[in-house]
Structure 1
Amino acid sequence: MPKNNITLADVAQHAGVSIMTASRALNNKGDVSPGTREKIRQAAEALGYRPNSLARSLATNRSTTIGLVVPDIANPFFSEIARGVEDEAHFHGYNIFLCNFDEDPQHEQAALNSLAEKQVDGLILCSSRQEESDLQTQLKDFRHCVLINRSLEEPQPHTAAILLDDHQGAMQAAGHLLNHQRRRIAFLAGPPRSRSGQKRLAGYRDSLIQHRFPFDPALVHHCQPDMHCGKQTAVQLLNTIPTPDAILAFNDLIALGAVQACLERGLRIPQDIEIIGFDDIPLAALITPTLTTLTYPKKEIGRRAMQTLLAMSHAQAIETVATYAPSFIFRQTSPE
């Protein structure tokens, strides 16, 4: 008999038990002795039995699939979060539908619509770029949702949020540069729709005010969160007079582009200009000079998001809002 035609009845017959007992054993349910459970498992393995996922989803009203949506999977920050989600999902027998929306709100909406049509068991959405009203509407299509780095102004009962304290991180970074006697600190901000970018900009501005230095909007430039745009924007800043003596970047990719622009200009880092990024991607420790940055436990955040989603699906108590504080990683572009 072809293995793809093996049924639960075949397994039960091979093990000499009822279909109900075989079902309970293979689904880790009910009162089945360890010896019988092992005999059924061996029978299933010998016959090459694979559960019918469609039949199981109809019986349990669960698909054992989770939607994971990120702005840019090529960004190591999001790929590490995705790895944490996938590791935890695999441990619990779930599969992941990964969607990438390229920092485009309309592309994000299309991804969410597709996942809703697939009736995934839950959604993990990273750094949504949608307006509040649009996001509120789309989240209603999912049973359970965990937002990473985004919160709702009016939380829904089936949602939870894992937040990053970007405001405090930017305040720390700008304060560190001011303590190094840097006085023209440029901020290479990310996409205008990014909530992290908005919070980091606010932290940068508040740190200047706290240290009694004026906030200069001319030193703030928005750009896409990649190396190419980081380099282009840094070149524009270096053409201004007077030039910046420090750069705080929205993320490490932008910061690495700024490092490249400064080196090509003949500037010494950190003597002439200091640079700080965010995220601590692997490349930050490999370039020369190595990049000072702020970091979050990215894989842990991904695992926690999946754990929270599973707890919600089993009606367990959860922490509806969790916040992670960043840690400084001091390297050569801005020493301690």
Structure 2
Amino acid sequence: MGDAKRARPPTLKDLAREAGVSLTSASYAINGTGSVGPKTRAHILDVAKRIGFRLNLSAKSMKSGRSGMLALIIPDLGNPFFAALVQAVFREARAAGYQIYMTNTEGSEEIEAEALAMAVGLRVDGLIWFSIRDKDTSDGILSNTPTVVLDRTVPGYDTVSVDYLEAGRLAGQYLLERGHSRIGIVSGPLDIASMRDRCAGVVEAFRKGGEIVFNLENSFSLDLEPIVKARLIEDRPTAVFAGADIIAIGVIRFAQTQGLAVPADLSVLGFDDIDLASLTQPQLSTCEIPIEHLAGRALQTLVARIKGRDDAIQSLLVESRVIERESVARLLPLLPVEAGHAVRSDGTCQ
């Protein structure tokens, strides 16, 4: 053992010398700032990885007052939607020069409050918060931490969300245009404003013509409530709008166990466009939540706050669209005739 000395970690000067660049360029590349070109930045980062250079976040924080860290608080990593969202936020954060500390609150307001306190204690530069419900559980501890609420409505914070009311209208119009004038709605938990809005949009679209034979609530789960199963069989709508893809997949699975073919006997339209939507049999038609766009706008808004933007609280909305796959059939259109009957376009009466 004797005189052996432990090698010191490489410094920024070591990195600059090894990469053949100035100390300033090395600093710009590592910190994601300045005007270093993309090829030079990539070269410097490759050299940093090779020599084992690590940015001293504590020193950086003391010098700049910033840690280079953001916190991401989400409610349910078991839901495929949130898994995809986390990946998108991580990509956007890295592109902006930030690292992410993430906590899954598992649907618990107690864990959520603890996670928010932990993030503040870590002195993160900012926070992206996908709250469990439209409720502020922070108890005021975020007053000095730039925060963006994602996809929820919590007063007092910048928010980035989807225009869910308009998305619901588009979903309802899509079903009507394909001849589905008698549908059921299976929403997710209605204590969430975004869920209420998307379902309200469908209802609004159907006021122009059509019937909603049931409007029932279900958890974010493949497993359907007994009342939902019963009404699917008893009322026999031609289509179901599900407030989330995970519920829509549960509807498809249940329908198939009852001998119903999707979409021939029952059409199903989801909401989210999770990865599983394109892997179901049949592939799920759904309304897209543009996750990459949502994450990008959230990061842009948060970084602007971190850099000192002091204008009014913003509420930003992004647009949705219907992703047409295989789970919604196009019914034969009905043509009006005398005596209150209707004739299908193939000539048969109804």
TM-score by structure 2 length? 0.76
Contact 2:120 2:142 in 1 (8 A): no
Corresponding residue SS for 2:235? coil
Per the alignment, do residues 49 and 104 of structure 1 end up closer, same or farther by CA in structure 2, a change over 3 Å counting?
A: closer
Could you tell me which runs of 5 or more consecutive residues in structure 1 were left unpaired when the two chains were aligned.
Answer: 16-20
Taking the aligned partners of 1:51 and 1:332, their CA distance within structure 2 comes to: 49
1:237 maps to 231
Shift of the alpha carbon at 1:314? Answer: 1.7
Aligned counterpart, 1:2: 6
Alpha-carbon deviations, 1:192-215, whole Å to 9, x = none?
Answer: 3222211122212222323364x6
Unmatched tracts of structure 2, length 5 or more = 331-350
Q: Percent identity over the alignment?
A: 26
**Corresponding position of 1:176:** 174
Please report the TM-score for the alignment, with normalisation by the length of structure 1: 0.79
Q: Which residue in the other structure is 1:194 paired with? A: 192
User: For residues 282 and 188 of structure 1, do their structure 2 counterparts lie closer, same or farther at Cα, with a shift above 3 Å needed?
Assistant: same
- Is the alpha carbon distance of 1:332 and 1:127 closer, same or farther for their aligned partners in structure 2, counting shifts above 3 Å? farther
SS in 2 for 1:56: helix
Q: Whole-Å Cα distance in 2 between the matches of residues 329 and 74 of structure 1?
A: 23
Supply the RMSD in Å over aligned alpha carbons.
3.5
Q: Secondary structure at the match of 1:315?
A: coil
Deviations 1:128-158 (A, max 9, x none): 41425x4573542x521111112344x3xxx
Match for residue 86 of structure 2 among 82, 88, 100: 82
Spell out, residue by residue over 1:154-202, the C-alpha distance to the aligned partner (whole angstroms, 9 max, x if none).
Answer: x3xxx42211011111222223323444344221111232222111222
Q: Indicate if the aligned counterparts of 2:181 and 2:209 stay in contact, CA closer than 8 A.
A: no
CA distance in 1, matches of 2:78, 2:220: 11
The alpha carbon displacement at 1:95 in A equals 1.2
* Inter-CA distance 323–130: structure 2 relative to 1 (3 Å threshold): closer
Residue aligning to 1:27: 27
Counterpart residue number, 2:324: 330
| Aligned match of 2:100 | 96
Give the aligned length.
Answer: 312
C-alpha displacement of 1:66? 0.7
Which segment drifts farther, 229-238 or 110-119? Answer: 229-238
Name the amino acid aligned to 2:301: T
Higher helix share: 1
2:60 partner SS: helix
For residues 125 and 265 of structure 2, the distance between their equivalents in structure 1, rounded to whole angstroms, comes to 53
Q: What residue in structure 1 maps to residue 140 of structure 2? A: 137
Residue from 253, 262, 271 that aligns with 1:260: 253
Q: CA 1:270–1:85 in 2, change beyond 3 Å: closer, same or farther?
A: same
**Structure 1 pair 128/3, CA: closer, same or farther in 2 (3 Å)?**
farther
**Structure 1 pair 314/186, CA: closer, same or farther in 2 (3 Å)?**
same
